[in-house]
Amino acid sequence: MSSNIEQNTLLTIDNLQISKSQVVVVYTEWNESIVQELKNGVYDVMTQHPEVELQEIAVPGCIEIPFAVQQIYKKSKPDAFIALGCVIKGETPHFDYVCQSITQGITHLNTQQSSPIVFGVLTVNNLQQAIDRIGGKDGHKGQEAAITALKMLHLKQNII
């Protein structure tokens, strides 16, 4: 984020009106310690909102997230999803394929179903960049994903 003022505005969740909701956190098993901290950030925010019930579903890797979201949506139609994962660039083009696949998959599903999917997948060049995004100098992307989910629930329930 480019400034503290912008960051404070983006992270504000005052006055959100959210009725009882179910949010499914779909997370990856790869880069487990980073993903666990992303989940911790989600829970840090969501525990302040007892009207939101969280459910967790693990998948092997990021490419499997869109399939899991699609199947869960067909079966139980939760109110929102938070997709969490971490892709760290290696020495092959695999990183690019995985990042493109997960981004396109989530974007496509967001246009096809009525439950928002928040993109909380870190795509980083190295482990330090991931650490910086789970409570380091670049904020906490797990908390930001939870805040985004709350804002999208508010939008879905009160405006749309």
* pLDDT per residue as tens digits for the range 66-103: 999 999 999 999 999 999 999 999 999 999 999 999 99
Of the candidates 94, 108, 140, 154, the residue annotated as catalytic is 94
Is the confidence at residue 42, as pLDDT, over 80? yes
Question: CA-CA distance, 157 to 97, in Å (whole number)?
Answer: 35
pLDDT band at 30 (very low <50, low <70, confident <90, very high): very high
Considering the entire predicted model, what is its pTM? 0.90
Q: Is residue 49 annotated as part of the catalytic site, yes or no?
A: no
On whether the CB atoms of residues 121 and 83 are closer than 8 A, the answer is yes
Question: CA-CA distance, 99 to 121, in Å (whole number)?
Answer: 9
Which fold does the domain 21-158 belong to in CATH?
Answer: Rossmann fold (3.40.50)
| Closest among 134, 109, 132, 101 to 120, alpha carbons compared | 134
| pLDDT at residue 160 in the model | 59
